[in-house]
């Protein structure tokens, strides 16, 4: 009986030493419009990737821009070790707004299956973070497609 308990304990300890990996998109926003973004993928936890992306945005000058800057905004993340990533961008004027200024939005999508599924995830991500964007009305361009 004690051998079984030792074996189970050993297996649980080995299973808990899981290596993390993933991918993330972090954006710098100014009044709802994306100024810049960073996409990272690697064999570390996505929270550590987010810290690296924030540091990269700070080096680019988005550390202390002014009031209203939300630099710690992750647009999309995944814990997949391998998969597909698609980043889309849309420049549009939101309908039904008092101020008719052009806005830039980014959507990041990930999938373990295909680039098409990652594209649908990116479209959903953009709609989630920018409610005034409508894919049928406002066009988008694919900025990046890759397998990580």
56-76 pLDDT tens trace = 998 888 876 666 566 668 889
User: Of all residues in the chain, what percent carry a pLDDT higher than 70?
Assistant: 81
3-state helix, strand, coil in the chain (%, to 5): 30, 35, 30
Give pLDDT, residue 10: 46
Break the chain into its structural domains and give their ranges: 19-147
For the chain, state the CA radius of gyration. Answer: 19
Lowest-confidence segment of 88-92, 94-98, 137-141 by average pLDDT = 94-98
Mean pLDDT over the full length of the chain:
85
| Dihedral (CA of 27, 84, 81, 124) sign | positive
**How far are the Cα atoms of 23, 34, 41, 54, 69 from residue 130, in angstroms, in the given order?**
21, 11, 24, 21, 16
pTM for this model (two decimals):
0.80
Residues 6 or more apart in contact with residue 57 via CB below 8 angstroms: 26, 28, 36, 38, 63, 71
pLDDT band, very low/low/confident/very high, at 88 (cuts 50, 70, 90): very high
pLDDT in tens, 96-136: 777 788 999 999 999 999 999 999 999 999 999 888 888 88
Count CB neighbours of 106 within 10 A: 24
* Token code pair at residue 8: 């189970």
Question: Residue 69 in contact with residue 45, Cβ under 8 Å?
Answer: no
Q: Tell whether the model's pLDDT for residue 9 goes beyond 60.
A: no
């Amino acid at each position: 009986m004690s051998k079984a308990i030792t074996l189970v304990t050993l297996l649980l300890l080995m299973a808990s030493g899981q290596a993390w990996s993933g991918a993330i998109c972090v954006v710098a926003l100014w009044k709802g419009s994306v100024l810049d973004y960073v996409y990272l993928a690697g064999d570390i936890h996505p929270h550590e990737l987010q810290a690296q992306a924030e540091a990269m945005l700070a080096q680019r000058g988005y550390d202390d821009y002014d009031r209203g800057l939300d630099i710690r905004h992750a647009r999309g993340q995944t814990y997949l070790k391998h998969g597909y990533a698609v980043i889309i961008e849309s420049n549009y004027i939101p309908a039904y707004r008092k101020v008719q200024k052009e806005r830039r939005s980014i959507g990041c999508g990930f999938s373990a299956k295909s680039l098409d599924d990652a594209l649908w995830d990116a479209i959903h991500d953009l709609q989630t973070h920018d409610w005034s964007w409508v894919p049928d009305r406002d066009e988008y361009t694919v900025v990046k497609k890759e397998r990580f």
